[in-house]
Structure 1
Amino acid sequence: MDILKNKPTQSTLSLLIKKSLCQTFSLFMLAMPFSVHAAETEAEVNAADAPLPVEKASHALTTPEREVRVIYLPESERKRIREEIKQEVLATAKKENWAQPSALPDWINRIKLYGDLRVRGEGNFYDKGNFPYYINYNAINTGSPYDTTGQSGLPSVINTTKDRERLRLRARLGLTADISETLKADFRLTTGGFTNPVSSNETMGNNFNRYNLGLDRAYLTYQPIESLSIWAGRMENPWYSSDLVWDDDLGFDGVAAKYQFELSDSVKPFITVGALSVQNTSVDLPTYSVSKQSSRDKWLFAGQIGTDWKIQDDINARVGLAYYHFYNVVGNLSSPCPAYQSNVPCSTDNTRPMFMQQGNTLFALRQLDISGKPEGPQYQYFGLATPYQVLNLNTQLDFTMGDEQHLIFNADYVNNVGFDEGRIRKAGPVTNSSKGYFDGGDQGYQIKALFGHPKAVETGQWNVSAGYRYLESDAVLDAFTDSDFHMGGTNAKGFFVGGNYSFTRNAWLGLRYLSADTITGAPYSVDVLQLDLNARF
């Protein structure tokens, strides 16, 4: 063990003890109330030890040779000497790490654990007039393709008509480690499945079975100077954004960097850039074929500029303008493909998204060749019908009130500048098309207000909030936006209200109510009620 390796050597310890004893003895002698001059020769010592006659004794005490001198050492000087000895011993002990045999190793002091736990009661309440036949395209794209002739039965369908109640659990445990003065590592484990990147919840009531636990964060932070941070790995959200674009539980894979500097005492601009991997092509694609397809990886290339602005001592603002360019996410029509069996691959199957929620405009990816068997099954996958190049303006105005309370306003706007309606119509959309024409859109916005403590973590702290959201079908990728509003995805509008109250330190109750409807297409309305018990450490 390190403690045993750091024990002092025998010679070092001996020298230190000898030195301390000598100094202590000197201090003792100096502290004596008097001292006697020693004789210069052994004969004088012996003579001095011999008994004196009575008549000479009184004379001896008064002769110069037997003079007694009294030396006085002030108490302050004695304290100074003792303190010097003490400090020298402690310095040596600290340097050689043997004075505290129970001291912890240095690496333990550079590691910090953190985590949180949430128990949620949730109710999903559907309008009785909802359209009952909403196809679950995500289930099709992540499984076997769908037989469009209907011979294999109905595809997977989303529930839009029957209310549901459930208990849910989220647990997260993280660790940060200071590797050096400029490099830090971060790990976090979380509950949640491995097919849904925007939720860490586990639904309780699985015959008392255990829950999944996965690696949610694993990244390095390099900070060569105070104003520059560089991240690499699976990281937290590097952007200044809201859940209009990115769900709160979402992690990002790749590299990103942020540079923030002081333009003045009140204005601090920042720049953030990133290259993030969205989907990597399987090396064995297609699985059931000896003819493999080349890689077609999907990426997010993004940049953001913004500033923190201290308008007054009690008024702060923040503005961020981001551009998110999704590369290779749009689907491509395949070459003619006779897909009479579910395991037959087609040339552009790898352009389909492998995770979706609901709302984006889709089209049939495969150009099915039915000439050889027109009556047989026709298996189909679905892809995104338009590119996604999202422009996002996010603003916040924060008024500091009394008792550490705040009044905060947020306004968020998105526009998919890559939206291509002509391409959508040419592809023949299977979603967001009603009465024979396409009726989707490319814009969205959200406004929100919060009053109280921004984070209710100390006993008695609280906040309340309310907002409105309008998010058209193709304003953002439905895969990564908020998973609670309208049960996740785009093509939704509605309001939300909520509040939090901290009943003890680092623990609080939360209540949220979200009411949302579809913007276009078949009717689908759902209200979500969530009651949360939260704790963190």
Structure 2
Amino acid sequence: MNRQFNRWALALAVAAALAGPAQAQTGDQAQASPAVSGNTTVHLIRLLVEQGVITEEQAGALMEQARREARAEQEAREPDVREGDVRVPYIPETVRDGIRAEVKEEVITQAKEENWAAPNTFPEWVSRVEWSGDVRVRNESRFRANDNSDLVADYQEWNDTEYDISVPNVFPPLLNTRQDRENLLRVRARFGLEADLGKQWRTGLRLATGSSDSPVSTTQTLGGGLSKKDIWLDRAWISWHPGIWTFTAGRAKNPFVSTDILYSGELGFDGVSAGWNDVSVGEHGAFFGTLGAFPLGYISDDFPSDEQNKKASEDKWLFGAQLGIDWRFQEDQRFLAALAYYDFDNIQGQRSSPCPLYAGYQSCRSDWSAPAFMQKGNSVFLLRDIVLEPGNEADTAMPQLVGLASEFQLLDINLRWRTPLFNDYELSLAGNYIHNLAYDEDEMFERSDGLILNNFDTNGELESGADAWMVHAAFGDDLDLARAGNWQVFFGYKYIEPDALPDAFNDSSFHLGGTNAKGYFLGGSYAFTPDLSARGRWLSAEEVYGQPLAIDVLQLELNARF
């Protein structure tokens, strides 16, 4: 009975739906009882068929009737169409909403792909470029002991000027060893970018200040009559990162784990390197390794320029290999150990064949072996075997160059440990030991024909050595200075014998650069913001062997980065 009743109720609903559009209603009636929509009528007819009230044929007839009545009603509502009128068909609201959503989605997708969704945006390639930079303003004072030797030669200046040793009573270029230099205002600015090239390729470059082409410093002393400051190309490289490997070519950052006792933190490496990392060792450790080849100097293509018989290729290289392990006991506790071998190939000086400069020659055939850059400390000797002019021996000019007496093949060990302490404080300990495997005093005298110039004691015995080491400790609430209010204090000690390593490439602040130095350094840092910090350092050093040379350096600086 109930099913029969439901069938008749549905039939009455369909009848009402069909009748609704054809019946005229007053304004009040239309508001109180709106007509049933066409979609509702269709659903009701289908429901009658499903319930068995009507057949498919009857349903078709009802649908056709509904269409005719709807069309007649629409035509009755339309105004008369005259010539020139434009007919705009009616589009239901639901259809319009669907079209609007679809068009909006397509437009947004295209805008994202082509980067024109909003005004004042940049081209697509800009999103693949990362910009960075830093600025450091430093006040530096240099204090020298009054009893320092005042006969310490500046061998870099010696080579630059080709000092003539034949001129009597004229000293070679000498370093300032006794007069202080206070409150030097100095600045360093660096600006660079890195770009993602796709398919695991990247490239980058960086510009930096610097008062010269010194490889170990980009700091510029202010003053000079308010003149503008020099800008140098500090980085330019391309790298590829397939999996755990990284291959880099160009002028890039130091790829090795090292300290500034060997390589200055501002030193760039020209050449190629290949490194791998993240090779797991157990649950917490990972091996890493690096290989590199870096040209230190090429002989000029037409050397000697004033001779028909040119010199064969004599290039200088640094070859390096390092293997290490990075072990993390916990997320914030880390131990790192690295063993490296560095071969500074062909950088030692070579004594020339007899060289008759009096005959008009501009150079001797071993001039290429003079170092491109020196600081101080290494044992050096006279490179040129200058022939005296027959009959005018006393007045023969003897412009000389100096070269390194020792070879350098270095074994380098680095150990680092960082651990949390009480109250969220952190402690970092580091040690570095370097030994020159190629150091041999007999070979040094043989190579130089006994003409070594420096690092002798009062008895005329050579005082040098092959070892260097450093220890360093830092303590603070965040050693990375990552948040405003973070601070740290640090202390360390360095000991560098004269020929333990090349004097050209290490930190230029401790003992004002070079080797044959020992002493301590201490200081602290404070972060005003994550990108602005202050640091103060005191570095006190003196000679290991030879003539007295004690130098203290005070640095107060602000460091900003972006």
**What TM-score, normalized to structure 2?**
0.80
**Which residue is 1:235 aligned to?**
252
Q: Distance in 2 between matches of 1:454 and 1:83?
A: 57
| Mapping for residues 69-108 of structure 1, pairs under 5 Å | 86=101, 89-95=104-110, 97=114, 100=117, 102=119, 103-108=121-126
**Residue 493 (structure 2) aligns with:** 468
- Displacement of 1:311 after TM fit? 2.7
- The answer (yes or no) to whether the contact 1:340–1:379 under 8 Å persists in 2 is no
Q: Provide the residue aligned with 1:35 in structure 2.
A: 37
Question: Equivalent residue of 1:153, what SS?
Answer: coil
TM superposition shift of 1:279: 1.2
| Contact 2:144–2:178 (Cα < 8 Å) also in 1 | yes
Q: Which runs of 5+ in 1 are unaligned?
A: 1-31, 51-76
- The question of 1:159 aligning with 2:176 is answered yes
Residue by residue over 1:81-135, the C-alpha shift from the partner in whole angstroms, topping out at 9 and shown as x without a partner, is 9589626631454136487253532101001110000011000000000000111
Q: Is the 8 A contact 2:218 2:266 kept in 1?
A: yes
Matches within 5 A, 1:473-484: 473-484=498-509
Structure 2 Cα separation of the partners of residues 281 and 256 of structure 1: 23
Q: Residues 288 and 212 from structure 1, CA distance in 2 versus in 1: closer, same or farther, beyond 3 angstroms?
A: farther
Quickly say closer, same or farther: Cα 1:92–1:403, change in 2 above 3 A: farther
* Local SS of the residue matching 1:353: coil
Retained in 1: the 8 A contact 2:154–2:174? yes
Cα 1:397–1:150 shift into 2, 3 Å: same
The offset of 1:228, in angstroms, is 0.9
- The answer to whether the aligner puts 1:385 opposite 2:401 as a matched pair is no
What CA RMSD, in Å, does the superposition of the two structures yield over aligned residues? 2.8
Query: Given residue 448 of structure 1, which amino acid in structure 2 is its aligned partner?
Result: H
CA 1:342–1:313: 2 relative to 1, 3 Å: farther
Give the residue type in structure 2 aligned to 1:156: P
Which residues of 2 match residues 430-509 of structure 1 at below 5 A? Answer: 430-434=453-457, 435-452=459-476, 453-509=478-534
Secondary structure of the structure 2 residue equivalent to 1:95: helix
Q: Flag the structure with larger Rg.
A: 2
Letter in 2 for 1:519: V
2:192 pairs with 1:174: yes
Counterpart CA distance in 2 for 1:337 and 1:449 is 53
Contact 1:219 1:235 in 2 (8 A): yes
- Specify which of 499, 516, 522 is matched with residue 541 of structure 2: 516
- 2-side partners of 1:528 and 1:46: how far apart? 99
Structure 2 CA distance for aligned equivalents of residues 389 and 228 of structure 1:
26
Contact 2:304–2:365 (Cα < 8 Å) also in 1 = no
CA displacement 1:289-340 (0-9 Å, x = unmatched)? 5554333111011100001011345431000000000111011111111234
Q: Take 2:74 and 2:241, find their aligned partners in 1: how far apart are those partners?
A: 81
CA distance in structure 1 between the aligned counterparts of 2:222 and 2:411, rounded to whole angstroms: 38
Q: Is the 8 A contact 2:153 2:173 kept in 1?
A: yes
Pick one of 112, 115, 120 that aligns with 2:133: 115
Measure how far apart 1:281 and its partner are: 1.9
SS at match of 1:445: strand
- Residue-pair matches, total: 478
Paired amino acid for 2:473:
A
CA contact (8 A) 1:167 1:203 kept: yes
Give a deviation string over 1:38-69, Cα, whole Å, max 9, x none: 6555999389969xxxxxxxxxxxxxxxxxxx
After superposition, the C-alpha distances for 1:343-379 in whole angstroms (9 at most, x for unaligned) are: 7311101011110000001111112222523202222
Structure 1 residues 34 and 41: CA distance shift in structure 2, 3 A: closer
Q: Name the counterpart of 1:53.
A: none
CA distance in 2, matches of 1:163, 1:438: 30
Counterpart secondary structure, 2:393? coil
Measure the CA separation in 1 of the matches of 2:522 and 2:98. 65
Which residue of structure 1 aligns with residue 394 of structure 2? Answer: 375
Query: How far 1:208 moved relative to its partner?
Result: 0.5
Moved more, 166-175 or 421-430: 421-430
Superposed CA deviations along residues 480-520 of structure 1, whole A, max 9, x for unmatched, are 01111101000000000011111233111110000000010
Q: Displacement, 1:262?
A: 1.3
2:150–2:177 Cα contact (<8 Å) kept = yes
Cα separation, 2, equivalents of 1:163 and 1:439: 28
2:58: which partner in 1?
Answer: none
Q: 3-state DSSP class of the match of 1:375?
A: helix
Equivalent position amino acid for 1:350 in 2: W
Distance across 2 between alignment mates of 1:342 and 1:433: 35
Q: Distance in 1 between matches of 2:485 and 2:67?
A: 84
1:179-218 equivalence runs, <5 A? 179-218=197-236
The residue identity in structure 2 corresponding to 1:375 is A
2: CA distance, partners of 1:47 / 1:432: 111
- d(CA) in 2 for partners of 1:169 and 1:311? 40
User: Is the contact made by 2:357 and 2:386 (CA closer than 8 Å) also made in structure 1?
Assistant: yes
Per mean C-alpha deviation after superposition, the further-off stretch among 167-176 and 40-49 is 40-49
Q: Secondary structure at the match of 1:379?
A: coil
Could you tell me the percent identity over the aligned residues?
A: 36
How far 1:431 moved relative to its partner? Answer: 1.3
Worse overlay, 511-520 or 92-101: 92-101
Q: Which amino acid aligns with 1:198?
A: V
In the other structure, the counterpart of 1:399 is 419
Whose helix fraction is larger, Structure 1's or Structure 2's? 2
- 1:314 and 1:401 in contact (8 A); partners too: no
Indicate the residue corresponding to 2:60 in structure 1. none
Equivalent residue of 1:147, what SS? Answer: coil
Residue type of the alignment partner of 1:238: P
Separation of aligned partners in 2, 1:350 and 1:331: 9
Q: CA, structure 1 residues 464+83, in 2 after alignment: closer, same or farther (shift >3 Å)?
A: farther
Counterparts of 2:316 and 2:559 in 1: how far apart (Å)? Answer: 36
1:47–1:182 Cα change, 3 Å: closer
CA contact (8 A) 1:330 1:386 kept: yes
* C-alpha distance in structure 2 between counterparts of 1:148 and 1:290, whole Å: 28
What CA distance in whole angstroms lies between the structure 2 residues aligned with 1:413 and 1:301? Answer: 19
Question: Could you tell me whether the CA contact under 8 Å between 1:195 and 1:355 is conserved in 2?
Answer: no
Aligned to 2:72: 45
Aligned to 2:287: 269
CA contact (8 A) 1:364 1:383 kept: yes
SS in 2 for 1:346: coil
> Would the alpha carbon gap of residues 375 and 199 (structure 1) be closer, same or farther in structure 2, given more than 3 Å must change?
same
Output the CA distance in 2 between the equivalents of 1:291 and 1:523: 46
